[in-house]
Structure 1
Amino acid sequence: MKVSLKYYTIKYLIMILLLIIAVWAGLFYAYILDEVHDNVDDGLRDRKIQIIKAVYLNPQLLKNNEFGFNEFKINPVKAQDYQNKSRLYNKMYYMEYDDKDQPYRVLEADFMDQFKGHQRLVIRTSTVEEDELIYDLTTALIVLYILLVISIVAVNGYLLNKAMGPFYQILDKLKKYQFGIPFSQEKQNYKITEFEELNVEINEMIARNEIVFHQQKQFIENASHELQTPLAIVINKIDLQIQNEELDEKSISLLSEVKNDLRRMVGLNKSLLMLSKIENSQFNTTSDIDFNGMIIRLVQNYEDFIAFKKIEVSIIEKGKFIADFNHDLAGILLSNLLKNAVKYNNEEGTLNIIIENNRIVFQNSGTPVPLDQSRIFNRFYKQGSDRTSTGLGLSIIKTIIKQYPAWDIAYEYGDHMHYFILTKNNSRYNE
């Protein structure tokens, strides 16, 4: 799933932060525990020195053989068990207040008393419970993490919104930009150098594209218009030559084929010019178009073509299809849909034009094979070997629909019938 740059950044920031906090928490716990033991051990060593000094001053302390109020005891040891080195370790002792065993830090140290006797001094002190330390530390880290996440999301959200504001302005400008439509290039001063450079480069790129666009547009129009005249002249000369009685049947047949190819070239040239004009947004003016009436007039205009193929045409009006559309484009759109439904229909076939409030369906019989939905609206795509087709009729329809984002054209096949479905999502004229 795609997300915005802001949430993408925050998501990975939180994940990395979680990992860092987990590692840091482990190191922090080990460090704190080591510091606690180190401080306790220093205190035990200091108490050992003080107690041994007190024993030399007061021999009665040698009789302190059990842990009492002072948390130490002194017991005689055999000479062979005497050790010169102090020992530190952890041990559990029963604590009456909690009525359970609690951890203690213990120091053992052997020394010689003033009577040359071997004595073992054992000092203990209660330490922080590690399980409670882990619980308290974990709780503190969880609270810290939640607060950090909230703070990061809030602060980063605010800073990213503020910092990325110019980026979204530039992005919105690009979304609204269309070739051939005047584009505002007001100078904007951005505090962030990269956005300032990006805006300058985009404006320069658009200016270059506009120059190339207008040059190509002019070239296509000039080339198309210039081609029409020589093509028409050549066709007329061929017509005159065909009327020559001295030509044999083979020559007449050859000239007829050339003439048909030239007529196809004329149609192709006109279609390409039409596509260029549509894509260049040269049909900008719009008005309320009554598609019902326009379809009825087109069917009447194509009566000869329809009668030639003996096609039964039915116009089924289930609603009133009225839309804000360019009048010329509406005529081209419906004309191409109608011609396509008649031209590729069976002889004595059927054509149903179903008109509803928000869609028009051209339902026609034809080859009992569905067309390729993924390629049917591509330029020059032809399913079959019809040499008279330019392969641009449906492409022109798709190009017109692209000029109106709320509209759609779709193809379906079912019950041995081909369906071309024109849909408008604008509810302005819904009843």
Structure 2
Amino acid sequence: MNLIAKTTLFYLLVAVLVFGIGGWVTYHVVKTEVTKETDFQLYDEVQDVANDVRDGIPIEILRRRKVGIEHLGDHLKIDTFYRFSDTLAPHPYRAGEMEPYRKLEAVKEVDGSFYHISITDVFIESDDIYDVVVEILWRLFLILGVGMLIASFLVTRWLLTPFQRILSSIRGFNIKQPEPLDLPATSTKEFRQLNAFVSAMTERARRDFRSVREFSENASHEMQTPLSIARGKLELLQETQDLDQEQLRLINDAQNALRRLSKLGSALLLLTKIENHEFRAQREVDISAVVNACLDNFSELAMLRGLPVKREVQPDVGLAIDPTLADVLVSNLVRNAIRHNQEDGAIEVKLDKQGFSIRNTGAPPSIPTADLFKRFRKNQQSEKSMGLGLAIVKKICDTNQLEVGYDFQDGWHEIKVKFPINV
């Protein structure tokens, strides 16, 4: 639910509450006013009855007017009083139905004689007052509701147009673009403040991105130079005569460490580039050709370790992914299946339009399976593994809307990569 709909709904709920309280107050105010006017009318009628008695009109004739009158005598010493009350009386037109009436009782002195006079009448019923108030408020609420809906979706939409343009500009923002974010001009103070904040935030993000990218590229490049020099020096030292076996072992260990450090730098740089979305899928890649080429490249290594590779690769499977990332994804999974296999083991590879899966035999995982795709988490703590292969696979899948999962069952490790449905 968008902001306009939520605002409209909130105002309608407030209107229901206000109209409900207002209707209750209106009903009682109108009823009080009607009762007051009815009492005034009954009072005037009592005066008229007293005047009719004074004029000599017989009591029997006055009683025909729904007036109750009794002669109390000439020597009754009592003050004149008026008593108003509510009562029930038969409906004049509906047989057997009672309705509320207003009643006035009074004792009046007429030419020295005292008379008890009672008049019962109704001018506006309470039910009629209630129906009128409800009908008026319902119509007003309907008009107000329609007006609020029109105002919300027209006036409010017009007021929020700059906000929608700002959102559109933010959605199209690319942290790698050289130009600053182009935000629409507006005369609204709050939107101008939002523009200033978004501009400053995106500019800071672009500046930080450039700094991090330059640092990672420079660090990787500069690190490779001394590493190459060190490896060259060690190779020269290794060719020196009169070196014993211990010295040769130390030189070999140093070369392995430098080689691992070089690979680590390259892997971390690749992860950084993937996280910064520097690889874009410009077109569909024939992932079938990538898988077959990768399996051919690693076939000799698998044969040296005595690992038969069973492949079921469906031809002409396309996937929208950068070709470099596709090769890294498949290569890491195949290399991982070979490296973490067992003697007399096997590897099974399957590719179709639903996804890519690779299975290999091996010992049960020594760490929680949920941690296998984290950086520097290595199964069985293999010295030859840097713990970044599956982390790179996970990052490639995340940035390309692919699902990757791991399962171990009956001595088989299986990693599945599910392709999008529209592949």
TM-score range, shorter chain: 0.7 to 0.9
Say whether the 8 Å CA contact 1:320–1:355 is kept in structure 2: no
Question: C-alpha displacement at 1:274, in angstroms?
Answer: 1.3
C-alpha separation in 2, matches of 1:158 and 1:414: 60
Aligned to 1:312: 308
Alignment check: 8 A CA contact 1:362 1:421 kept? yes
Q: Is 1:346–2:316 an aligned residue pair?
A: no
**Cα 1:322–1:95 shift into 2, 3 Å:** closer
Conserved? CA contact 1:365–1:416, under 8 Å: yes
State the Cα distance separating 1:371 from its structure 2 match. 6.8
Alignment partner, residue 421 of structure 1: 416
* Separation in 2, partners of 1:260, 1:80: 132
Asked if 1:286 corresponds to 2:257, the answer is no
Change (3 A) 1:421 1:169: farther
Deviations 1:176-197 (A, max 9, x none): 3232135574452224332233
Q: Alpha carbon RMSD of aligned pairs, Å?
A: 3.0
The answer (yes or no) to whether the contact 1:370–1:418 under 8 Å persists in 2 is no
Alignment CA distance shift 1:177-1:387 (3 Å): farther
How far apart in 1 are the matches of 2:125 and 2:358? Answer: 83
Letter in 2 for 1:30: H
The one-letter code of the counterpart of 2:56 is P
What is the CA-CA distance between 1:65 and the residue it aligns to?
A: 6.2
1:265 is aligned to 2:279? no
Aligned to 1:333: 329
Counterpart of 1:335, as a letter, is: S
Residues 1:124 and 1:287: Cα distance change in structure 2 (over 3 Å): closer
* Distance in 2 between residues matched to 1:141 and 1:86, nearest whole Å: 37
- Percent of aligned pairs with the same amino acid: 24
Distance 1:231 1:186 in 2: 44
Unaligned runs of 5+ in 1: none
Deviations 1:374-400 (A, max 9, x none): 443333333442343222222222333
User: Which of the numbers 404, 408, 413 marks the counterpart of 1:409?
Assistant: 404
Give the TM-score normalised by structure 1.
0.86
Q: Does 1:59 align with 2:56?
A: yes
Q: Would the aligned equivalents of 1:287 and 1:327 in 2 still touch at CA under 8 Å?
A: no
CA contact (8 A) 1:370 1:413 kept: no
1:392 aligns with 2:380: no
- Does the C-alpha gap of structure 1 residues 169 and 384 become closer, same or farther in structure 2, counting only changes over 3 Å? farther
Question: Aligned residue for 2:67?
Answer: 72
Structure 1 distance, partners of 2:361, 2:150, is 62
Amino acid at match of 1:268: L
- The residue number in structure 2 matching 1:301 is 297
Match of 1:36 among 34, 37, 48: 34
Counterpart CA distance in 1 for 2:372 and 2:169 is: 33
Q: Give me the whole-angstrom Cα distance separating, in 2, the residues matched to 1:14 and 1:425.
A: 43
Q: Provide, for residues 223-279 of structure 1, a one-character-per-residue CA deviation record: whole Å limited to 9, x for no partner.
A: 111111212333343455556676665555555444433322221111111122233
1:106 matched to 2:103? The reply is yes
Match of 2:23 among 16, 22, 25: 25
CA deviation map 1:91-123 (0-9, x unaligned): 112234221322211111212110x22212212
Q: Residue in 1 aligned with 2:6?
A: 8
Pairs aligned (count): 421
TM alignment of 1:20-169, pairs within 5 A: 20-56=18-54, 58-64=55-61, 66=63, 68-69=64-65, 71-77=66-72, 82-99=78-95, 100-114=97-111, 116-169=112-165
CA contact (8 A) 1:286 1:327 kept: no
SS at match of 2:381: coil
Contact 1:316 1:354 (C-alpha < 8 Å) held by counterparts: yes
- Label 1:93 to 1:289 Cα distance change in 2 as closer, same or farther (>3 A): closer
CA distance in structure 1 between the partners assigned to 2:178 and 2:399 by the alignment? 17
- Change in CA separation of 1:175 and 1:316 when aligned onto 2, cut-off 3 Å: same
Question: In structure 2, what is the Cα distance between the partners aligned to 1:146 and 1:329?
Answer: 60
> Which runs of 5 or more structure 2 residues have no equivalent in the other structure?
none
